[in-house]
Amino acid sequence: MCPAIPISAIYGASTDKWNASAYAALSVASSVSASVKAQATIFSLSRDVWKLNGMLRNFLEEIYRRAAENVPAPTEPVTKEQMMEAARTLQHIHRTIEQLYTRAKAAGLTNRRFIGAALNSVKVRAEELLEFGDALEMSLNEDVDAFLEHSLEDLRSGNVYDLPAFK
């Protein structure tokens, strides 16, 4: 995640589209988690995991697309509460998927041909969502902004430090 991108403009954390995508992914992740827990049929479970994978892929593609377009700030300002809610939602999606992956691994599903690839892909995508959630949370911390600004000033002025100096 590049700190130069205004995190609030990445997807529109307060928009209806954001909420629909995030909560739809959370709903499917919870449904898949329940299916793994209940030992549903492998074909039905495979279909649901691939569906979840597609939803997460589309959700992340939209975030990356908006970041690449340098979308101007939303006309309606995003509040700190909305940003925190978005961060918590992304972190909740990650936790739900982490639990489902743990159950699936314990059931031996991560090594199966059709469902294993989807489960592993879902796990990787969940890690990306967690990174965005953490970035949203950090973007609200003024200390982080001050640190990054100070680092950029040092870089511009040519003040660089060797890593061993920080030991």
In a domain, 164, yes or no: no
In a domain, 55, yes or no: yes
In a domain, 56, yes or no: yes
Both tokens assigned to 36: 């793994």
In a domain, 158, yes or no: no
At residue 133's C-alpha, the angle toward residues 107 and 78, to 5°, is: 145
Distance in angstroms between the alpha carbons of the first and the last residue of the chain: 26
Query: Which range marks the domain in which residue 17 is found?
Result: 7-141
Which tens digit of pLDDT belongs to each residue from 57-112? 999 998 888 878 876 766 777 788 888 888 899 999 999 999 999 999 998 889 98
Identify the pLDDT of residue 10. 54
Total domain count for the chain?
A: 1
